Chains A and B, each alone.
Chain A
Amino acid sequence: MSPEIRARQITHRMALLALLALLAAAAFLLLNARGSWDFLLPFRGRKLAALAVVAVAIALSTVVFQTVTQNRILTPAIMGFDALYVLIQTGLVFGLGAGRVSALDARLVFGLELGAMVVFALLLFRWMFGPAARNLHLLMLVGIVLGTLFRSIAGFLQRIIDPDSFTVLQDRLFASFNAVDPGLLTLSALIVAGLALILWRLVPELDVLALGREAAVGLGVPQERLVLGLLVIVTLLVALSTALVGPVTFLGLLVANLAYLLLPTGRHAVLLPAAALIALITLIGGQALLERVLHYDTALAVVVEFAGGLVFILLVIRGVAR
C-alpha cells in the first residue's frame, strides 16, 4: 500500500471517528427527551462534559503509558489506582461514618483522593527509576501486590462495617456520572486540557520513545527525565478521572488497542486523538444506550465492556485472518 493511500485511509477513519463521536453526543443529549429543554439540556450537558473529560483522560493516559512501557496490554490501572480509590472511600466511611462522609465537602474528598493517588504513584515510579530497580515486571508485580493488599484491607473493613454504611459505600464505589460537582468538573476539564496540550507538544518525543529506551537515547531524547514527566502526567490523568467518577478500568485498554488496530501507524499525532475519539464514542454512546434504551437497568461498565469486548474480539479475529 502506498503512503498516499495509507494517509488517505487514516484521514478517512479519523473523520469517521469524529463523526461517530458527534453522533453519540447528539444521541445522548437529544434522545428520549421528555420534559422541559431548559432543564434537560444543562443537566445532560453537564453529564456529557463529565463523560468527555473522563474519556479523554483515560484514552490519553493509557496510550502514553503503553508507549512509555513498550507494552500494549498494560494500563495504568495495573498500578493499583482503582484499589487505592476503593480503600480511600472505604476508609472514609469506616472512620467517619456514612453520615459524616456524605456531608463532607466534595472538593475536599476529591482533593484528598487526587493527592493520595498522585503521591502513591510517584513513590512507586521514584522507586522504579531509582538506583534499586528499573525493571518493568517488578513494577507490575509490586502494583498488583499493593492493589491486592489495598483491596483486601478494604474488603476487611467492608465486612465489619454496619450494613447501612455499606450501602452508602457501595453506591460511592460504582463509577457514576450523575453526581459530579460542577466546580470540580470545570477544574478537571481545565487540568485535562492543559495536560493534553503538553502531550500534544511532546508528540515527536513520544514517537521516538515508542522505538524503545535505547533507540530514544541514541536519537537524543532526554529519556529518563521525559519518562518520569510522562508518568506524572499519566498519574494525574488517571487519578483525576478516578476521583471524578470512580474506577473505569477496562476502557483504557479497549480504546488504546482499538486505536492501534484501526489506524496502522506509530504516529502519536494520530494515535492520541484517535484513542480519545474512540473513548468518547464508547463512553458517551454506552451511557446513551444505558440511559435511553436500557433505562438504567444495568451499570455503565457492563455496557462498555460488553460492547467493547465484542468489537475487540471482532477486530482481533479480522486482524488474524488478514
Chain B
Amino acid sequence: MIEVEGVERRYDGVAVLSEVTLSLPKGGLTAIIGPNGAGKSTLLSVMGRLQKPDAGRVTLEGMHLAQAPGRAVAKKLAMLRQDNHTAARLTVRDLVAFGRYPHCRGNPGPEDQAQIDRALAILGLEPLADRFLDQLSGGQRQRAHIAMVLAQDTGCILLDEPLNNLDISHAVRIITLVREAAQALGKTVVVVLHDINMAAAHCDRIVVMKGGRILRHGTPAELMQADFLSAVYETPISVHELAGRLVAVY
C-alpha cells in the first residue's frame, strides 16, 4: 500500500501540489484524472520519488521513499514517465534489460533473462527486440518503455499517460494487461489518464485532481456524474449508460 501524507510541491513559489493526502490499498488499479496542469504528473513523480516534495512524505509499505536506499525502493516500485527520451544508442532488448538493474546490477542471470523475455512477449515486442530505439515509431517506443517497467517486476507500478501515442488496439491491450496485473498478481497500479471513459471502464478507483489538490477519490460509479465532471473540466459533459458502462460524452 502506498500513502501520500500532506505532500506539497512548489515551482518557483507557485504551488503545484498543495496538501495532497492519499492512501491507496495494496492491489487494484487507480486512475488519476483531471484537466491539464492539475498536478497529476507531479503527484506521480513525487510518488515515484523522481521529485522531492517540499513538505509531506510518501511511504510504500511503511518504507519512507525519500530516505530508503534507491535500489531497495526500485525493487518495489517502478515508474513510467511521460517523456522518455534517451540519448544512448540502445536496442529494445537493452532498454528492457535495464528494468532488471535493481535486481542484478547490470549482470543479468537466467531469472533476469526470463523476465526480460516475458516483458518483451507481453508487449508484442519480440520482432522488434533487436531494433534500435531511434528506429521505432512513437508507439513502439512507448511499448518498449512499458516493457522495461514490467521487467522491473515490482509490486507497485506508476504509469504516467501510458496510452500516449498508442493506437486503439495497443491502448486496449495495455490497459487490459495493467488491469490483469492489478487483479491477478495483486500489484498496486496507478495510471495518469486523459481519457475519462478509459478510466471509468477499466479502473477500480479514480482520483480526480484540479489545481494541485485532490477533489474526490472514489469508484467510477461514484465519480461519473455529469455535474461534477462538467465542473472539473469546465466543459459541458453528460454521462450515459451504454452497453453496461458509464460513458461521458463531451
Contacts and interface: CB of A to CB of B under 8 A. Distances in A.
A207 B94 CA distance: 10
A17 B250 CA distance: 63
Contact of B75 (A207, A215, A220, A222): A220
A217 B98 CA distance: 12
A98 B228 CA distance: 82
B7 interface: no
B74 A218 contact: yes
A207 B86 contact: no
B106 A220 contact: no
A231 B81 CA distance: 26
A208 B70 contact: no
Contacts of B85: 212
A269 B105 CA distance: 13
B86 A212 contact: yes
B90 interface: yes
A204 B87 CA distance: 17
B72 A211 contact: no
B71 interface: yes
Contacts of A195: none
Given A218-B50, A218-B79, A220-B70, A208 B86 contact: no
B73 interface: yes
A125 interface: no
A165 interface: no
A266 B89 contact: yes
Interface in B60-79: 69-75, 78-79
Interface of A: 1-3, 6, 70-72, 203-204, 207-208, 210-212, 214-215, 217-223, 260, 264-267
Given A204-B107, A214-B81, A218-B78, A264 B89 contact: yes
Contacts of A208: 98, 101, 106
B102 interface: yes
Given A1-B130, A212-B87, 10 more contacts: A204-B105, A207-B106, A211-B88, A214-B50, A217-B70, A218-B48, A220-B69, A220-B71, A221-B101, A267-B94
A220 to B, nearest CB: 3
Contact of A260 (B45, B89, B105): B89
A210 B88 contact: yes
A103 B49 CA distance: 56
Interface in B83-142: 84-91, 93-94, 98-99, 101-102, 105-107, 130, 132
Contact of A221 (B70, B87, B107, B130): B70
B98 A219 contact: yes
23 contacts: A70-B87, A204-B105, A204-B106, A207-B98, A207-B106, A208-B101, A211-B86, A211-B98, A212-B86, A215-B98, A217-B49, A217-B50, A217-B70, A218-B79, A219-B74, A219-B102, A219-B152, A220-B69, A220-B71, A220-B74, A222-B69, A264-B132, A266-B88
Contacts of A204: 101, 105-107
Interface residues of B, number: 34
Interface of B: 45, 48-50, 69-75, 78-79, 81, 84-91, 93-94, 98-99, 101-102, 105-107, 130, 132, 152
Contacts of A218: 48, 50, 74, 78-79, 81
A227 to B, nearest CB: 13
A48 B45 CA distance: 51
B102 A220 contact: yes
A86 B73 CA distance: 47
Nearest to A213: B50
Across the A-B interface, the 3 shortest Cβ-Cβ residue pairs: A204-B106, A220-B74, A266-B88
A222 B45 CA distance: 16
B169 to A, nearest CB: 27
A204 B72 CA distance: 16
Nearest to A218: B79
B134 to A, nearest CB: 11
A17 to B, nearest CB: 18
Contacts of A265: 89, 94
Nearest to A210: B88
A221 B88 CA distance: 17
A203 B49 CA distance: 24
Given A3-B130, A204-B105, A204-B106, A210 B87 contact: yes
B4 to A, nearest CB: 18
A222 B86 contact: no
Nearest to A2: B130
Nearest to B83: A214
A203 B93 CA distance: 18
Contacts of A3: 91, 93, 130
Nearest to A263: B89
Contacts of B48: 218
Pick the most buried of B45, B73, B78, B87: most chain A CB atoms within 10 A of its CB: B87
Contact of B86 (A215, A220, A221): A215
